[in-house]
Structure 1
Amino acid sequence: MMPIESPRKKSPRKPQHGSPSKRLKPPPPPFFAPKNTAPPLSAIPSSSPAFATPAHPLKPFQPPTPTKAAVLPIILPPATLRPLAFRTFTKKHSLTLTSSALQELATFIGRHCGSGWREEGLAEKVLEEVAKSWKNRNGGVIVDGTSPELKDILKTLEGNMSGGRIISGPRGLSRQNSLLEQADDSELSKTRMGLRPTPSLSREDSQAGMGVSSSMDVDDEPDDETLRDPRSWLKVINAFDQPRYTYNVAKKHFEKITTKPSLFPPPSHKTEAFRNRYNVIHQRLLRNEAFQTSAVTTSRLRRTNSAAMQSHKITPIANLLGCHGTNHMLLGMLSVLPTGNLAISDLTGSIALDLSHAVAIPEDSAWFTPGMIVLVDGVYEEDEEQVGKGLGGNSGVGGTIGGKFQGLFIGQPPCERRRVTLGVSGPDGGPDHTIGGGFGWIDFLGVGSERAVGSRMRKLEQRLLRQPSLADPEAPNRGRIVIVGELNLDQPRTLQALRKILSLYATDPEGSTPMTFVLTGNFTTHAVMARGGSGGSIEYKECFDALASTLADFPTLLTTATFVFVPGDNDGWVSAFTGGAAVPLPRKSVPELFTSRIRRAFASANSEAGLSGEGKGGEAVWATNPARLSLFGPNHEIVLFRDDISARLRRSSVRLKGKVPVQEETAADGDVTMSGANGSSTPQPAEDMDIDSQPPLMSSPPLQNLNLDGSGPSRPPQQRQQPPQTEPPLPYDILAARKLVKTILDQGYLSPFRPSIRPVHWDYTSALHLYPLPTALVLVDTTAPAFCVTYEGCNVMNPGPVLVPGRKGVARWVEYNVVSGKGGRVRECTF
């Protein structure tokens, strides 16, 4: 009889299905066991291991009770969310929501916040996060629901929300990169209104964009010795690296162009370039007081019945159809028809222009050439014989309208000050304080926007640059920029003149030498690559080798200053196929192949002085034409441009016939002001600042009442207390300089010519815009007299050639002092 085994001894050998290898496989160790299947702890002691009983008795499975119910999506109507969105976006952050953006936010909040969007305050936190992220990305004043920025923000929030709440911390949103630092509502409101923010408000992304360390506060004294030098806050921005913006008429804001630029774009980009240039000037004109209508102006006009209080109105060219014999004011570009006649074009059409009886307002104060955008006041005359004929006949939009526009008065669109464009207060909170408006949040140069970091950079400039110069204002200081004009290196006397100029600054005390030297071309007299008299590439490199030998004699300047080289039309490589003719703008810098010896001279000087580390010692920067210098972020913007634009204006300008008749009972007005070479921008007597005498007021066209400085309509004759006295005529050099400066700055464009006269790269026209108005413009023009003029707060300087024509042994240059605020001054020396 077989013995009966005990059931307990059979328990380790329970029947198993499968292969023998699986039956012999031991159970997995507790370390690899799933955590959610581990039995709960029990106080009951375990049985003997020999009987293979579990360590703890099993309990029936109980599903875990959730700590909080999941969010149940709801349908949230946009009208219900509108009051809360208005308080958050409009009143607190000065933003405007479109209907599509409100719909997107309502859908997002209803899906992720559920019914607790109002009671628990979940929607307010989401709206606050979206508004801050939108401003951090410089999305603009108008929040559009179709913009990719808003969709990206909502997608980021969706991945960082739990239970309708935004997760912050290591696994949530990074507050350092996407939001402003913690600040109370009062300070945030002050910032949105355009007031100067307190030091506690910072913007990490803008500081990083300027090269400021995230651990450094600019309100504190910089720990790094190199950051205490004002030159470390200087940045050279090439034209091909500058951010590209276009003006959106629907949003009334600038938008950044994200498409990749090309030197060979499609023809449609040429139209886009003209449209953007027109829209920028048009919106600038509408911001002027003379083109704004209000109830106050209307009531005052009814009381006084004065034409001086009348506001101007711009008529689209397409709206001239059917308005025979009526007076209108047009804003458009001067162009030349295939027949050779002048025409004016805007975004709606073109019309033949007759300027045979037109006069300039003010008289002889600016140039007018085809390619410029001008204001023309006159009468439309419809030609019945050309109805349905010609280029477009009377078709209107998109074509040439029949008839002609008899221009009686023509003028430049008034300029706009930089502070008004940016909508911020002055550096010292002065009388030019402006609240709200403007484009202060736009980072036009990629160094940080004015409203974000401008106030903090001004404090840093005051501590590093201005306070040391207050001890002795007449002593040499660090905030000087030396601008040397055309430097023809193939002429031996040029290097002698440059050596004399550098020797004057090499003797300055330590720590007081200029921070920047600007050397401009043409670096050869003729087009070197076309072998136009200056040899070829070998001779071209020998010229720069000779310049390197001259610079090597001044190691003090090489180790403490930044030398910026701006090329001309005769420099390589572009002169190889143009022969010195007008080349497309912007143009690239001189190739490194020819400048290796100069770079080696800087490296040797820094190595001998022990300043070979990164960010230490001087450097040579080969910039494009044009280029920009940024000092202390957006506080100082200096445009460098080399072009003989004065001669080109004289060759292609339109000659006007008539003059403004002078009435006996009224005298010329002196409201239009422009400072001279002393650089002062404060109000002075008319005899020191007038560009030209303002013509008397007449009853026909209202264009005469528009002031040159854009301050609005001029005063009526009965309000003028004293007529100006007869003055001697100003010298021709001063009149030519003021005429050139007014033309360029009012156009807000460095190349206001036809493409056949001065071609441009269509995708890089943003680098040619002068909007906002820069703080200084270096216009190196050898065909114009040397001058330093201040117009609408912009210091315009022209050093001319370094060798003064007609004067042997005389060198000329311009010294621009950033600290004094008086602009530049023309200096001369003998050698």
Structure 2
Amino acid sequence: MTTARRPEKPSAVPQNLIPSSSPAFGTPVHPINPRRTAPIRAPPSLKPPVRATVLPIELPPATLRPLAFRTFTKKHNLTLTSSALSALASFIGKHCGAGWREEGLAEKVLEEVAKSWKKDNGQVIVEGDGEALKRILKALEGSMSGGRVVNASNLGRQGSFNFGPDANNNGAPSLESRPSLDHNTSFGISSLEVEDKDEEEELLKDPREWMKVIGAFEQPKLVYNVSKEHFDRSTTKPSLFPDPSHKTDLFRQRYHVVHQRILRNETFQAPTFSAARSATLSRTGSIAISGANTITPIANLLGRSGSTHLLLGMITISPTGTLALSDLTGTISLDLQHARPIPEDGTFFAPGMIVLVDGSYEENAGDPTAGSSSTLGGTGGIGGTIGGKFIGFSVGHPPCERRTATLGGADEVEKNGLGGPAFGWTDFLGVGSERATGPRMNRIASKLLTAEKAHNILIASDLHLDVPSTLTALRTLLRTYSHTAEEATPVYPLAIVLMGNFSSKATLASVPGAGSIEYKEHFDALASVLSEFPQLLAHTSLVLVPGDNDAWPSAFSAGAATPLPRKQIPELFTSRIRRAIREANSEVWGAGKKSGKEGEVVWTSNPSRLTWFGVKGEMTILRDDVLGRLHRTSIRFNKPEADVDVDVEPEPMDVDQPTQLEPTPNPQAQSQDQIDSDTLTARALTRTLLSQSHLSPFPLSVRPLHWDFAHTLNLYPLPSSVVIADSEAPAFVVKYCGCTVMNPGPIDGSEGRRGREGRARWVEFDIRSNIGVVRTEG
């Protein structure tokens, strides 16, 4: 039986038909059967690379930690967070597989990630939550094959410059084909770039190249982690309109910083002998160790009437108008009728300050425990005000901690009894940590900061531009440091810090003669004075810090205390000064060869930071009338009896006298009666602020703060120097715990009709010796 054959279907015509030629040549229209055509083979050099398959594994972060520590910390001076370590472990386990250890694949991946991080980001702490690490890993993912990094073109713009094509890598060089790459370079053209640190140091021979001004709104925010006992970078971006809970966090962070600082003090350390290890929980609810002070939480006072305790808390005002002490566990009424301050007449105590109070607890059975929440937090029960009162015997500030004890350094002196610095790897200002960059910066500073040459920063405040005598005093200051072009080796100051208020009256506050037009004219007059000294402007940096009378906050505050920090003066009023700087640079550097950095002007916030050589030196600058606020809000203690001796001596203070005509006497050999009142005031102001580790230790009702930016007023770690431009305080320079505290006073030293016209007063600070001097000329 036969079946009819179905007609064959015509073969499918390919979509990409070969077009026919003109009819004259008779080229057939029929398609060419692709089965009869020999396949077109690509040259070997154009073959796409064959990607080897990798079986992913689950790599625990703890297993990768030793290798990551050697690569990031030991080799590149970087610190890995737990989130970054988890991200790297997941990436290496997915793309390197089981050969991550035996074949050395993970080490090469970590090496390239570390190089890319330092080149793109520059931060010491490698974070895994941000976009920077994700971007680096995404670029590295496209450059890997078989667990190896074979193409660096995706890692940066240098990848487009490739030399020596590799047959196995589509014309791009691979790590295997370039084994002689230096460990400090990356891929591609980066091997030709100047990345040697020694060569970079040779190019930057001017100390001004190593100086940086950090505004309050540019300063990174670090949050103290109580469980890890370390500072973490805040995950939320600071805002001028934060959540209400951030108001409580402001005081919590202040308490945590002071508390951890106290616990590391040698006075609160447990003895190392064996008898101290048998400490037991006493009836006071705290660890009783012989020879060591112990802080008792306020909540543990309940039921322990008549016992003596040492409390750490913030002085507050209760709703009834009496003093109270608050910590993270509760609040208790404070009775300071018989208390004595330590030291006597040497410091200030005011609400808002965190203090140590030694005294006895008395429980009042008729006063039920209140349930209101405390200032520092806590809700209900323990978190409220407990009954009774705490009778204080003595009140003192927390002990101050030196900068070397917090960060370390080449000249570190172990005084904290812990065998090393507390936060040597922490980058508080974004300029590097002491352990990572400190040795290199010390080496550079020793080369550039020589003893044969002065390296000064000039500081002047209360530059009232609407007062003619102030401009005359400014001319006197600038004339003192101006040099002619014919001088062989002129010495110019590194920076000149001019601080407000730049107007004696509140600007833009409907005050006659203080409108926007007049305010602009005042800065034009300042530009005219600066233009008279082009050589000085071309060799220094001008830093201008506003005050409460300056725009724009003065428009609604009318000269009252504005919330800190506050932004710089708007560019609308500063164009003429910027033009004067440009003209001075063009006049001085236009025809000649540059021997250093050009002059510049920096309009910064209040407060702000001035750093030099990374973490080696730091100056905190604040324009605020702190002394008057302390006088108005401080607590008055009863005078002690004459036969009572002071049993606690404060840390000695070094005082630099304003006058240099006579040798400075030994401050330790002087009694309280021999020291003048201005020096005593300067010492009390200095000890109060540095012990509190804060520039504004007041309640928000006394000194408003932006909640999310209150960290910019911290004095922890202790800076190298602090400038408090206080018009109500005398001009002084005091050194306490290695920190130089300065107040230049008003620049106009004529003091109205009593003085001479053109007399100027300012502070001259040497960054090499960390010594300041109050100078007067004219």
Deviations 1:334-363 (A, max 9, x none): 111121111122222222222112111222
Kindly state the Cα deviation for residue 233 of structure 1 after the two structures are TM-superposed.
Answer: 2.2
Kindly state the Cα deviation for residue 648 of structure 1 after the two structures are TM-superposed.
Answer: 0.6
CA spacing shift, 1:589–1:120, aligned 2, 3 Å? closer
Q: Given the two structures, how large is their TM-score scaled by the length of structure 2?
A: 0.78
2:30 paired residue number: 24
Residue 345 of structure 2 corresponds to residue 400 of structure 1 = no
2:327 paired residue number: 346
Kindly state the Cα deviation for residue 323 of structure 1 after the two structures are TM-superposed.
Answer: 2.3
Q: Write out aligned runs for 1:342-741 (5 A).
A: 342-389=323-370, 391=372, 395-426=380-411, 436-466=420-450, 469-470=451-452, 477=453, 479-507=455-483, 509=487, 510-532=489-511, 534-611=513-590, 617-659=598-640, 662=643, 672-677=651-656, 688-690=666-668, 728-741=673-686
1:808 paired residue number: 755
Counterparts of 2:331 and 2:240, CA distance in 1 = 29
Kindly state the Cα deviation for residue 292 of structure 1 after the two structures are TM-superposed.
Answer: 2.0
Preserved CA contact (<8 Å) 1:382 1:404:
yes
The one-letter amino acid of 2:522's match is: C
CA spacing shift, 1:358–1:525, aligned 2, 3 Å? same
Q: Write out aligned runs for 1:83-94 (5 A).
A: none
Counterparts of 2:693 and 2:193, CA distance in 1 = 36
Q: Match of 1:535, SS? A: coil
Kindly state the Cα deviation for residue 803 of structure 1 after the two structures are TM-superposed.
Answer: 2.3
Kindly state the Cα deviation for residue 238 of structure 1 after the two structures are TM-superposed.
Answer: 1.3
**More deviation, 582-591/310-319:** 310-319
Counterparts of 2:259 and 2:609, CA distance in 1 = 25
1:167 paired residue number: 149
CA spacing shift, 1:755–1:726, aligned 2, 3 Å? closer
The one-letter amino acid of 1:24's match is: H
Q: Write out aligned runs for 1:60-139 (5 A).
A: 71-72=54-55
Match of 1:767 among 706, 712, 722: 712
Counterparts of 2:687 and 2:498, CA distance in 1 = 25
Deviations 1:664-698 (A, max 9, x none): 8xx8676721111169xxxxx9x9345xxxxxxxx
Counterparts of 1:507 and 1:145, CA distance in 2 = 52
Counterparts of 1:354 and 1:253, CA distance in 2 = 35
User: Percent sequence identity over matched residues?
Assistant: 51
Q: Given the two structures, how large is their TM-score scaled by the length of structure 1?
A: 0.73
Kindly state the Cα deviation for residue 104 of structure 1 after the two structures are TM-superposed.
Answer: 8.2
Preserved CA contact (<8 Å) 1:395 1:401:
no
Kindly state the Cα deviation for residue 267 of structure 1 after the two structures are TM-superposed.
Answer: 1.0
Preserved CA contact (<8 Å) 1:89 1:131:
yes
CA spacing shift, 1:108–1:571, aligned 2, 3 Å? closer
Kindly state the Cα deviation for residue 822 of structure 1 after the two structures are TM-superposed.
Answer: 4.7
Counterparts of 1:481 and 1:789, CA distance in 2 = 16
1:792 paired residue number: 737
Q: Match of 2:334, SS? A: strand
Counterparts of 1:97 and 1:156, CA distance in 2 = 20
CA spacing shift, 1:118–1:618, aligned 2, 3 Å? closer
Kindly state the Cα deviation for residue 258 of structure 1 after the two structures are TM-superposed.
Answer: 4.0
1:234 paired residue number: 211
Q: Match of 1:825, SS? A: strand
Preserved CA contact (<8 Å) 1:388 1:395:
no
**More deviation, 737-746/253-262:** 253-262
The one-letter amino acid of 1:239's match is: A
CA spacing shift, 1:517–1:415, aligned 2, 3 Å? same
CA spacing shift, 1:573–1:215, aligned 2, 3 Å? same
Counterparts of 2:674 and 2:117, CA distance in 1 = 56
Counterparts of 1:561 and 1:32, CA distance in 2 = 76
**More deviation, 798-807/242-251:** 798-807
Preserved CA contact (<8 Å) 2:540 2:599:
yes
CA spacing shift, 1:365–1:101, aligned 2, 3 Å? same
CA spacing shift, 1:446–1:156, aligned 2, 3 Å? same
Kindly state the Cα deviation for residue 95 of structure 1 after the two structures are TM-superposed.
Answer: 11
Preserved CA contact (<8 Å) 1:484 1:799:
yes
CA spacing shift, 1:154–1:329, aligned 2, 3 Å? farther
Counterparts of 1:491 and 1:264, CA distance in 2 = 37
Q: Match of 2:683, SS? A: helix
Preserved CA contact (<8 Å) 1:359 1:410:
yes
CA spacing shift, 1:85–1:229, aligned 2, 3 Å? closer
Counterparts of 1:430 and 1:202, CA distance in 2 = 33
**More deviation, 651-660/330-339:** 651-660
Kindly state the Cα deviation for residue 442 of structure 1 after the two structures are TM-superposed.
Answer: 2.5
Number of positions where the alignment pairs a residue of Structure 1 with one of Structure 2: 703
Preserved CA contact (<8 Å) 1:363 1:660:
no
The one-letter amino acid of 1:414's match is: P
Gaps of 5+ in 2: 1-8, 19-28, 160-181, 280-287, 659-663
Match of 2:252 among 275, 286, 297: 275
**More deviation, 19-28/332-341:** 19-28
Gaps of 5+ in 1: 1-13, 40-65, 178-199, 471-476, 680-684, 691-723
The one-letter amino acid of 1:266's match is: D
Counterparts of 1:782 and 1:441, CA distance in 2 = 38
CA spacing shift, 1:435–1:291, aligned 2, 3 Å? closer
Counterparts of 1:606 and 1:409, CA distance in 2 = 59
2:237 paired residue number: 260
CA spacing shift, 1:326–1:125, aligned 2, 3 Å? farther
Q: Match of 2:257, SS? A: helix
